[in-house]
Amino acid sequence: MATHPKVVRSVPSLRRTLELYRKAGERIALVPTMGALHRGHLALVRDARRRARRVVVSIFVNPTQFAPHEDFASYPRNFATDLKTLRESKVDLVWAPSVEAMYPDGFATRVAPEGAAKAGLEDEYRPHFFGGVATVVAKLFTQVSPDFALFGQKDYQQLRVVTQMAKDFDLPLKVVGVPTVRESDGLALSSRNVYLSTAERAVAPMLFRVLKGCASRIKNGEKIQHVLNVGRIEIDVAGFALDYLEARHAITLAPIATPKDGPVRLLVAAKLGKTRLIDNIAV
């Protein structure tokens, strides 16, 4: 009996395996990850399993989306544990390329997304980020050619960017956004949560509480700008260094002044100690 999941590390080997699935008429769902898997990733795998006969999980810490001062070298990696987790989740295939396989010598083409990628949110603080994400995701989409690709809504701007890219490039796949998985106190699951100290971990759920409070006050008719200003002060007082707290159009991520310009998405990013946390919710 084959041991699952099968791990492949080269494009030819990946294509050979996928060809067998396609010949059998099986649909394929892709869950792109950077490893350090948690319950949020497993929610993506479960959703993938409901949609397709075959589930492919990619594990690749993508160097092109990290700036030189960011945590590429220290980003949590634990391939053996990830593999065990994926075996228990009955994943069929793990695509785990090396940096050399993904970006061989002479690699010279990059995707430069605009639209949601230039919304003045994450792009303002990580200007290199979406070019790196769009390039690697474009590669994953063409390597795997899935019917479905699943992304968490926690990285909401990223979800909008890859959805638009798939649409703009006429890629024959459906990008699915899966709701954020949270701890019991509301903190959005993230591989970077391991960086939080015990004291910081106790404060971290405040971000979600502020988002919920803002959403409910906007729903009750309070002016968006006033609500955001109060929310920013609350985040500041709790001890975060706030990057942004914004209300945006849920599809285009353009700024909006009133709920009737909506649908409305609230997005936040803030640092707690050395750890940068992001979150978002629909209004």
Cis-peptide, bond into residue 263, ω within 30° of zero? yes
Each residue of 75-115: pLDDT tens digit? 889 999 999 999 999 999 999 999 999 999 999 999 999 99
Question: Measuring CA to CA, which residue among 160, 157, 154 is closest to residue 190?
Answer: 154
pLDDT confidence band for 3 (50 / 70 / 90): low
Provide the pLDDT for residue 73. Answer: 86
pTM value?
Answer: 0.95
Mean of all residue pLDDT scores within the chain? 96
- Read off the tokens for 88: 């228990």
Which H/E stretch holds residue 95?
strand 93-95
Euclidean distance between CA atoms 251 and 263, whole angstroms: 8
Phi then psi dihedrals of residue 85, to 5 deg:
-60, -45
Q: What is the mean pLDDT of residues 172-193?
A: 96
Each residue of 6-51: pLDDT tens digit? 999 999 999 999 999 999 999 999 999 999 999 999 999 999 999 9
Residue with tokens 């960086």: 195
Provide the pLDDT for residue 12. Answer: 98
Which H/E stretch holds residue 247?
strand 241-249
Q: Is 115 in contact with 80 (CB distance < 8 Å)?
A: no
Provide the pLDDT for residue 1. Answer: 40
Strand-by-strand arrangement of the 241-249 sheet: 241-249, 264-272, 275-282
User: What share of the chain in percent tops pLDDT 70?
Assistant: 99
Question: Measuring CA to CA, which residue among 229, 52, 78, 237 is closest to residue 146?
Answer: 52
Provide the pLDDT for residue 69. Answer: 84
Q: Is 270 in contact with 243 (CB distance < 8 Å)?
A: yes
Question: Measuring CA to CA, which residue among 138, 9, 171, 147 is closest to residue 65?
Answer: 138
Lowest-confidence pick of 9-13, 20-24, 125-129, 214-218: 125-129
- DSSP letters along 161-203, please? HHHHHHHHTT-SSEEEEEPPPB-TTSPBP-GGGGG--HHHHHH
Q: What is the mean pLDDT of residues 149-154?
A: 98
Q: What is the mean pLDDT of residues 51-65?
A: 96
DSSP one-letter code for 261: G
Q: Which listed residue (38, 41, 69, 226) is catalytic? A: 41
Annotated active-site residue 38? The verdict is: no
Question: Does residue 2 surpass a pLDDT of 80?
Answer: no
Instruction: Identify each DSSP E strand in 108-155 by its residue range.
Output: 148-152
pLDDT confidence band for 4 (50 / 70 / 90): confident
